[in-house]
Amino acid sequence: MKLKSITLFLLANLLINMALIAQKPYWDEYFSDNIETVQLTPPGEPLGDPFLVLNDKNSKLHLSFDMFGTEYQSLEYTLIHCDADWFASDLLPNEYLDGYTEAYINDYEYSINTKQPYIHYKANLPKSDMMITKSGNYILKVYPEDEDDKPLFIKRFMVIDSRATVGGKVNRTSDPSIRKTHQEVDFQVNITYLGSQFPSKELRVFVRQNQRWDNIKKDLQPLSISNGVMDFDLDKENVFPGLNTFRYFDFSSQRYNSEYLDRIDVSGAIDEVYLLPSQIRRGQEYVGDPDFHGVYFIETKDWANSRVEAEYSDVHFSMAYNVPLLDGEVYVLGELTNWNITPYNKMTYNYEKKAYETTLFLKQGYYSYMYAFLPTDAKTADVAFFEGSHYQTQNFYYVFIYFRAPGTTYDQLVGMTLFRDYSI
């Protein structure tokens, strides 16, 4: 009886935990300390976005990641269809996948002469025997063989069925009070061929700045709908702070110090990379530096094969600040931290140096990032607090159009446009 009671207790807790997970939207997340550098991009485009085109057999994504250690593990992955808010949808796997619902990751390489040993896994998806049949938001879940309840990591991607077209541009905001610091995304959506009878109820329109999800603009309502065209020339709902160009550093070579590197110490069991102390940019004039928009690129210039010869290092960040902030926390933000706000990328205050500091374990390459302040009880990080905000900053803006057709219970992604050009 006692054993049975314990088993029932554990089962009940497992079900409760699964229910709690189901109530949360999915984010890019690592569940193992042995996983690092997860990238999901179009093949041959390491800085590309994780988008697939529905029913296009040539549309693929390349998954790559490292698992620390020297012992190979058999790994599998599956795909989870999500709604527009990244909650798991009501669809069963066989309703959005044609063929198998799980697949193995069979391609791997061992690291070569690195202080931190790792195994580099890679795969192209979707496979021919696991085809996606519906558009929308998706989660890629990777886990040890036959242990799908113990994921190693999850990663977002999107499948587009282009049935609504989007056109527009990025302008300086029309609000004179923030005209020097903010940008406005004005656009039109043509839904002529979508067949929506009630677009205000059936369509959801989102705007994203760069690859950030925390400050996304959701459920924008059009100014007007005429002849199948929805006009989003708004004044407030589509306005973003322009912010600043991303900070960056390059430690693709351990033989010399590039810009923004103070020194590299290779004498220990793990290499130590020290960045030059950062300064607050709020209140400074805008400088149009090269900008990777918060993403990173893996590369070692010291060896031939960056996939397995690039070294991992402890990278030390430091930002000068005279006094600690008592009404919030400070974080490093960018793809290097999955665009998340977690204890992993939180900075701590060094009273002796009068600076915020943290250390991230990163693979050799080129990285871009920003510092963010998260006020107590706030959900959105304030990047302008440290970085400043300028209308001239060259941000990328993505417009996503979701459609829930009558009689269905899931969101289709029927339109997506990336605005890169500016008229400001």
What CATH number has the domain bearing residue 7? 2.60.40.10
Residue 232 and residue 271 in one domain: no
Beta strands in 69-181 (DSSP E): 75-82, 97-99, 102-105, 107-110, 118-125, 130-132, 136-144, 153-160, 165-172
CATH code assigned at 170:
2.60.40
38 residue type, one letter: V
The confidence score (pLDDT) of residue 424 equals: 63
| Torsional sign, CA 4, 6, 9, 13 | negative
Looking at the structure, tell me whether residues 274 and 191 fall in a common domain. Answer: no
Domain that holds residue 211: 165-241+397-419
405: how many CB neighbours lie within 10 A of its CB? 15
Residue type, 280: I
What pLDDT score was predicted for residue 12?
43
179 and 235 inside one domain: yes
Q: How many domains does the chain have?
A: 3
List the one residue out of 150, 124, 154 whose CA is nearest residue 140: 154
- Confidence (pLDDT) at 423: 61
Domain shared by 156 and 171, yes or no: no
Assess if residue 336 is contained within a domain: yes
**Which residues are 118's β-sheet partners?**
68
Residues 399/218, Cβ–Cβ less than 8 Å: no
Q: Are 119 and 107 in contact (CB under 8 A)?
A: no
Indicate the pairing of strand 130-132 with strand 97-99.
Answer: antiparallel
Burial zone of 394 (CB within 10 Å; 0-12 exposed, 13-18 middle, 19+ buried): middle
Domain for residue 187, yes or no?
yes
Are residue 51 and residue 130 in the same domain, yes or no? yes
19 and 133 together in one domain? yes
**In this structure, is residue 408 part of a structural domain?**
yes
Choose the final residue of a domain: 160, 183, 211: 160
Residues in a beta bridge with 224: 231
Angle at 397 between CA 392 and CA 398, to 5 degrees: 175
Residues 170 and 122 in one domain: no
8 A C-beta contact, residue 326 and residue 376: no
Same domain, 295 and 377: yes
First to last CA, the chain: 73
Choose one of 160, 195, 230: the last residue of a domain.
Answer: 160
Per-residue pLDDT of the chain (424 residues; tens, 9 = 90+): 333 343 444 444 444 444 444 578 999 999 999 999 999 999 999 999 999 999 999 999 999 999 999 999 999 999 999 999 999 999 999 999 999 999 999 999 999 999 999 999 999 999 999 999 999 999 999 999 999 999 999 999 999 999 999 999 999 998 999 999 999 999 999 999 998 989 989 999 999 999 999 999 999 999 999 999 999 999 899 999 999 999 999 999 988 888 899 999 999 999 999 999 999 999 999 998 878 999 999 999 999 999 999 999 999 999 999 999 999 999 999 999 999 999 999 999 999 999 999 999 999 999 999 999 999 999 899 999 999 999 999 999 999 999 999 999 999 999 999 998 666 6
Domain-ending residue, one of 145, 160, 175:
160
Instruction: Give the per-residue pLDDT at 13.
Output: 44
Asked if residue 392 is part of any domain, the answer here is: no
Query: What 3 state SS string does 370-395 have?
Result: EEEEEECCCCCCECHHHHCCCCCCCC
Residue 343 in any domain: the answer is yes
Residue 14 lies in a domain: yes
Does residue 409 fall inside a structural domain? yes
Q: Does 11 share its domain with 110?
A: yes
Nearest to 216 by CA among 7, 399, 6, 403: 399
| Separation CA 71–CA 181 (nearest Å) | 51
Q: Are residues 132 and 260 in the same domain?
A: no
- Please indicate, yes or no, whether residues 52 and 109 belong to a single structural domain of this protein: yes
In a domain, 424, yes or no: no
Asked if residues 137 and 158 have their Cβ atoms less than 8 Å apart, the reply is: yes
Q: Are residues 226 and 261 in the same domain?
A: no
